[in-house]
Amino acid sequence: MKIATKFFGELTIGKNEIIDFPAGLPGFEQEKAFVLLKMDKEGVYQVLQSVHHPEVALVVTNPYLFLSNYEFEIDTQTQKLLKASTPEDVIILSVVTLRNPFSKTTVNLQAPLVVNYNENIGKQVILNDTSYHTKHLLASFRKEDVQHAGAESKSK
């Protein structure tokens, strides 16, 4: 199927690539079908692109590339929705807000996207009672942690 995208023009995707967000995303509740597209060769940054509306495209990243000790619990209801029985069943993504200059770019650690990639089901989880915020400066993470996490990511 062909889709129009915000950053990549028109692309052909397979139906098996579509991730269903049954409740949509906060602010985009009507958007339920997305595809994950690599933004750079290494896949550090990706785009969660709406299948139906090209203007709805969120830049995302794996938060563990920047913060290896990032952790939170996924409630039972979300685990059931995602058909996830172990942590290995899901991938975690965080929404990135790109800024100019790039040093002002932020990442949302308070509302991670949890996706069961095997089942193509996702949900954005809002974390309460947490020290995580919606606007962590990417530049605030220690360079050694980012380089170490990036090396681990490439070896997997």
Tens-place pLDDT, residues 7-64: 999 999 999 999 999 999 999 999 999 999 999 888 899 999 999 999 999 999 999 9
Q: Which residue has the higher pLDDT, 32 or 144?
A: 32
Q: Which residues contact 16 (CB under 8 A, 6 or more apart)?
A: 120
For residue 144, is pLDDT > 90? no
Please name which of 49, 64, 80 lies closest in space to residue 112, comparing C-alpha atoms: 64
Tens-place pLDDT, residues 52-95: 999 999 999 999 999 989 999 999 999 999 999 888 999 999 99
- pTM of the complete model: 0.87
Round to whole Å and give the CA distance between 47 and 36: 6
Instruction: Look at residue 127 in the predicted model and tell me its pLDDT.
Output: 94
Contact 53, 138 (CB under 8 A): no
Sign of CA dihedral 60, 65, 71, 74: positive
Round to whole Å and give the CA distance between 138 and 151: 17
Give 134's pLDDT tier (boundaries 50, 70, 90). very high
